[in-house]
Amino acid sequence: MPELAFFSGTMDCGKSTLALQIGHNRSARGLQGVIFTRDDRAGEGKLSSRLGLVTEAVEASEGMDLYAYVVAQLSKGGKADYVIVDEAQFLAPAQIDQLARIVDDLDMDVFAFGITTDFRTKLFPGSQRLIELADRVEQLQVEALCWCGARATHNARTVAGEMVVEGAQVVVGDVNRPAEAIGYEVLCRRHHRKRMTSAAAHAGALSPDVLPVNQA
């Protein structure tokens, strides 16, 4: 039976890599898919992995009807056996409903990949709707690590290396941005709660107030 599957995890845990692998495996068997993405780090209409892999995709812009797009492709004689959606957290709840309709009415598997919560630990609306509707929700097994070595469970937004907890929910960035730019870092819950990024931890380690030196 076709299903709507949601693969979730923090940044840096291999979601896009798995999406590309699923597409590769199916295309190797002669199947054709429609790949949607939204606000990918590589630019509009791209699905990219931090491993350097990239493929063309359809930009799922705000207000786009994903179900209607797939139906239009089929109506023009195109072939579609499955759908892949990367950065699904950025989709509107109505667009998640359209993905469910693709599964139910067109008998296609839909594989959605996304981050569950934002930098404030709040659910993205798209991810929340996926959790509500998906036939299967899977936490990716490739664990991203906090700077302390513990399993990373939270996404932190940073500005000049300092964690921020206010601002727009969606600001496109990456974990490899220059320190002075808006970027993201994955943290364990303890260090997210303490707002302690790797830069803050490094500064703390260098501070004599944090690590006092015994004097003779």
- Give the H or E element holding residue 189: helix 189-193
Ramachandran sector of residue 110 (left: φ over 0; alpha: ψ -120 to 50; beta: rest): beta
Structure tokens at 142: 């490739």
Look up 87 and say whether it is catalytic. Answer: yes
Catalytic residue among 3, 87, 132, 180: 87
SS3 state of residue 175: coil
SS3 state of residue 193: helix
- What are the φ and ψ backbone dihedral angles of 151, each rounded to 5 degrees? -65, 130
Residue 59's closest CA among 48, 75, 50? 48
Q: What is the 8-class DSSP label of residue 130? A: H
Q: Beta strand pairing status for 4-8 and 136-139? A: parallel
Active site residues: 87
